[in-house]
Structure 1
Amino acid sequence: MSRSYFHLHLVSDSTGETLINVGRAAAAQYEGISAIEHVYPLVRSGPQLERVISEIKAAPGLVLYTLVGGDLGERLETACRETGSPCLSVLQPVHALLQSYLGAQTTARPGAQHMLNAEYFKRIDAMNFTLAHDDGNLPDDLEEADVILLGVSRTSKTPTSIYLANRGLKTTNLPLVPGVPLPPALEAAKRPLIVGLFASPERIVQIRQNRLLSLNADESTLYVDREAVADEITSSRRLFTRNRWPTIDVTRRSIEETAAAILDLYRDHRLKFIAV
């Protein structure tokens, strides 16, 4: 199936993360069509906007923007009408709904969601903790973690941990390796939510083979043997069941979907922990 492409211009007075997420989520719904992204972050002055407009004129397409200060949004929309490029303020409908509901006027603050507040520093602290405790490192202070992820090699523990850290959760991940005992501190851990990750043997073998290929390593090893991998996964699931740890099958889940499921589990876990 041949693919078609269109230019997607994302103009932001902040980092552009909101626009990127919205644009990709919407474009993903159209099979066989891909967006050529043009991202313009930190657009807060007339000269900066003029450079953006010149690029839109050179490659007309769809324009999404989040410009909350001054008349930059109006100037962008005028230029887009002249070039025939559909243009939409992504936040304007949300602002209008909030204003109607709250009965209050907005205060234009570009990048306000990225202010250096307590939540921001909480995420930084969680990220530092998570990176220091990746792949079984520093196992003696597991009680300080918010979440502990367990799973055999290639069950997306590290990227899931980093995603959770970006949401403010201190996350430790421990690999389950045949013949290697788990750290004693795990049994004593009461505060953290412990989650077991697993996937189908076929999926694990495929990922491990790709990993070995990228390293130019020998593939004649139990690491990618289908029966050996199946035994690893079976043993891990028995461990999870024995300890009554919640589990997530990551075979067909994205990192975001896995993290969302863990966040739901964590909310319930914290309520129970606080109630005790």
Structure 2
Amino acid sequence: MANRNFHVHLVSDSTGETVSSVARACLVQYEGVFVQEHVWSLVRTKGQMEKVMQAVERDRGPVLYTLVDPELRDCVRDHCRRLQLPCVGVLDQVMSVLAVHFHSKSEQWPGRQHQLDDGYFDRIDAMHYTLAHDDGQSTHDLDDADVVLVGPSRTSKTPTCVYLANRGVRAANIPLVPSVPPPPELEAATRPLVVGLITDPERLVQIRVNRLRLLQQDTETEYTDMEQVQREIQDARRLYARRQWATIDVTRRSIEETAAAILQMLNVRRERRLQAGEASTP
């Protein structure tokens, strides 16, 4: 049953991000199965849909879609029924449940989640801030951040910050360098949530060695010395405990999982502040 090859068609009237994310979250659960994904985005006319269905007939496989136009949805279903292929609207059940609960019919607006609203411009602003405050840059306005990530080199600070910025979070990061104290602006900052990142020393050495090899640099340095790296992690732990910063071990976490934990911390922090504000209101 191993090493089987399949085709899956992902059809969307928008960017295709939603249906692709759902498909990959499901497909990763199947080992020994190779799936070629065919992503068909911005499909908004019957002519475009006809071309998509010709490809489906050529490379037969299940069709997953996110389409709001009833005619296009019917077109997909009719073709798949004729071809005897499974066809799933990944948001259909959710939309049906919400429509019943809200006693309201949804608007037929393709790509509405990507509209240029205030949230979109908040994400752009967050991305600009994050890029300007990467790797300890521009610490003078660190107090304007929502989150500051602190950690030794190669603990995924930058990619996690970029992921958070894409969610509208202004994220800065400060590297911990041996024998160099963190910038005073970090200690003075009161607004942002400060999160310390740690990882397993062995894994960190491995990551650093691979990085140096990619750069064609010497891998036998203090930067990759096991004893030195162990001291870095111990010093980081002591710093986090002394400052009472939240700590996340990223050893077995993906960037998305680390970011999700930080977003949860932000939500808890926000709720506590709201409750404190309501409690102080006469």
TM-score bracket, shorter-length normalisation: over 0.9
CA deviation vs aligned residue, 1:155-213 (integer Å, no higher than 9, x gap): 11011001111111100011101122211111110000000000000110111111111
- State the AA in 2 paired with 1:50: E
1:83 aligns with 2:103: no
Please give the secondary structure, in 2, of the residue aligned with 1:39: strand
Residue 51 of structure 1, CA deviation: 1.6
Number of the residue aligned with 2:115: 115
Paired position in structure 1 for 2:157: 157
Which residue of 2 is the match for residue 36 of structure 1?
Answer: 36
Structure 1 equivalent of residue 280 of structure 2: none
Instruction: Give the structure 2 partner of residue 191 of structure 1.
Output: 191
The aligned counterpart of 2:101 is 101
Identity of aligned residues (%): 53
8 Å contact 1:151–1:196 — kept in the other structure? Answer: yes
Structure 2: distance between partners of 1:51 and 1:65? 15
Letter paired with 1:83: L
SS class of match (1:55): helix
Q: Give the letter for the 1:81 counterpart.
A: R
What is aligned with 2:249?
A: 249
Q: Structure 2: which 5+ runs fail to align?
A: 278-282
Q: Which moved more, 1:257-266 or 1:3-12?
A: 3-12
Question: What SS does the corresponding residue of 2:240 show, helix, strand or coil?
Answer: helix
Please name the residue that 1:64 is paired with. 64
Distance in 2, Cα, partners of 1:212 & 1:191: 36
Equivalent residue, structure 2, for 1:10: 10
TM-score, normalised with respect to structure 2: 0.94
1:70 Cα shift? 4.0
Which secondary structure does the structure 2 equivalent of 1:71 belong to? helix
Using the alignment, how far apart are the partners of 1:105 and 1:98 within structure 2? 9
Query: Could you tell me how far 1:115 is from its partner in structure 2?
Result: 1.2
Shift of 1:273: 4.6
Match of 1:142 in 2: 142
Aligned-partner Cα distance in 1 for 2:70–2:29: 33
Shift of the 186–273 alpha-carbon distance from structure 1 to 2, 3 Å rule, reads farther
Report how far residue 252 of structure 1 moved: 0.2
Q: Give the Cα separation in 1 of the matches to 2:32 and 2:262.
A: 32
TM-score if structure 1 supplies the norm length?
0.96
CA distance in 2, matches of 1:272, 1:194: 16
TM-superposed CA distance for 1:217, in Å, is 1.1
Question: Counterpart of 1:107 in structure 2: which amino acid?
Answer: E
- Tell me, in whole angstroms, the C-alpha distance in 2 between the residues paired with 1:246 and 1:3: 43
Report the Cα distance in structure 1 between the residues aligned to 2:199 and 2:47, rounded to whole angstroms: 51
Preserved CA contact (<8 Å) 1:209 1:224: yes
Match of 2:48 in 1: 48
Q: Is the 8 A contact 1:154 1:208 kept in 2?
A: yes
Q: Deviations over 1:3-37 (max 9, x none)?
A: 32321110000111100110000111112223211
What is the correspondence of 1:222-261 to structure 2 with a 5 Å cutoff? 222-261=222-261
Tell me how far apart the structure 1 counterparts of residues 5 and 239 of structure 2 sit (CA, whole Å): 48
Measure how far apart 1:84 and its partner are: 2.7
Aligned partner of 1:266 in structure 2 is: 266
